[in-house]
Amino acid sequence: MAIELQQSRLAFSIVSSAARVRVCAPLGKCAGLGNLSRRNFSQAAEALEINEVEARPEVQVKDGKIISPRKFLLGKSEKQLQDLCEEMGEKRFRGKQMYLLLYKVRKAEIQEFTNLSKGFREKLISEGWEVGRSPIHHKVNSVDGTIKVLLKLKDSRLIETVGIPADEENNRLTVCVSSQVGCPLRCAFCATGKGGFTRSLKPHEIIEQVLVMEEIFKQRVSNVVFMGMGEPMLNMASVLAAHRCLNEDIGIGQRMITISTVGVPNSIRKLAAHKLQSTLAVSLHAPNQRLREQIVPSAKSYPLDALMEDCKEYFSITGRRVSFEYTLLAGVNDSKELAFELGELLHHWDMSHHVNLIPYNPVADSLFQRPWQKSVQTFVETLAKCRVNASVRQTRGLDANAACGQLRNQFQKTPLEDESLVKSI
């Protein structure tokens, strides 16, 4: 056991150090997890998840002294809350009351739990319990109705979440949530990776992103997409815990939840084993291994054939079609020839699928360009000739820095540059 733990710590140190190397060019050799071999990549990814699952509780510090462990109610099921009340010497029905206050009334502070006795509220607080809500650090409203916010976490780190309302005829509200503070995978065109990687989010830090958008828009969230900052498959334990809460406690249907990934070895099969009815969205971005490695550095450790084989297995187990995300970069992956190649790839693997084409959302200091509308249309028409079901995602929030990581990078330095932030123990 000691040897296994030592190996896990070593692998995690590889992730931590590699994640802090900055990308020097949009194409070519990129730093981060993408430079690890497939075996080391898998070990590092597993160690990253182990570290988050088995992490010591956060602590509250006052005047340089540790007061108590920091624990969070948000994300706990009704049964877990009832068990907690019983452990603290209270009746189990108090757990039901807490459950309603958390998920129906949406109270953000324990002091607001006025259905509970003052003594019980004070006991919860003295033992380090909090609801687990974070303040809004900054909010940007787009002319198209999209709203992007930065939440300031307990350790002063910033995460992004985006609320995307449908048109007036459709009452849907989609929330794009982050799963990590930054991202260690550093895809060439993504602003999140440029801001560095700090840590994975805990379940309550994912869930609160949905709640804050419901409060801002004053309506129920209908859809959740794990497409914000970070790689969800590198934080699977927290993502699955948040998924359970969003579905069972907040009432968002599994089919209304999408979990995205750029591809982490072994993770898609692990997700499939849970037999969720949620959509798997795979960030493909290229129809061949050589080009994909240039755009997605981690593809070096996860060959395209292996990725597609795992996607087909996901479809076979869950019966859910796989969504392939394809960001169109002008002059890089938007040619007619590559569209034909993409069609051939998808037909070869013979699974139910849909292609989401995403015209690149420009970020500062990037050499990539948004494709011309004519190029996008040609790409769509070529896929149609290949009998591939594809659609172009409507661009939202261009004036609100809605691409992943853009807004955060304006307000927070990278981990190497910012030494003043409070660190969790």
Catalytic residues, by residue number, are 160, 404
Pairing label, strands 322-328, 279-283: parallel
Compute how many other C-beta atoms are within 10 angstroms of the C-beta atom of residue 252: 20
Closest to 73 measured CA to CA, from 103, 115, 42, 39:
103
DSSP secondary structure of 375-419? HHHHHHHHHHHTT--EEEPPP--GGGT-STTHHHHHH---TTT--
DSSP secondary structure of 137-152? EEEEE-TTS-EEEEEE
Question: What is the dihedral angle through the alpha carbons of 27, 30, 34, 37, rounded to the nearest 10 degrees?
Answer: 110
DSSP 335: -
Distance CA 398, CA 86 (A): 50
Q: How many CA atoms lie within 13 A of 315 on its CB side?
A: 18
- Cβ proximity of 193 and 234 under 8 Å: no
Query: Can you tell me whether residue 176 is helix, strand or coil?
Result: strand
Look at the alpha carbons of 280, 286, 292, 297 in this order and tell me if their dihedral is positive or negative.
negative
Query: Can you tell me whether residue 222 is helix, strand or coil?
Result: coil
Q: H-helix or E-strand containing 131?
A: none
Residue listed under structure tokens 């029905």: 93
Distance CA 76, CA 110 (A): 14
Which residues touch 338 (CB under 8 Å, ≥6 apart)? 286, 287, 291
Structure tokens at 236: 């699977």
DSSP secondary structure of 237-272? HHHHHHHHIIIIIS---GGGEEEEES--TTHHHHHH
Closest to 414 measured CA to CA, from 250, 196, 152, 198:
196
Distance CA 139, CA 280 (A): 29
Distance CA 291, CA 198 (A): 28
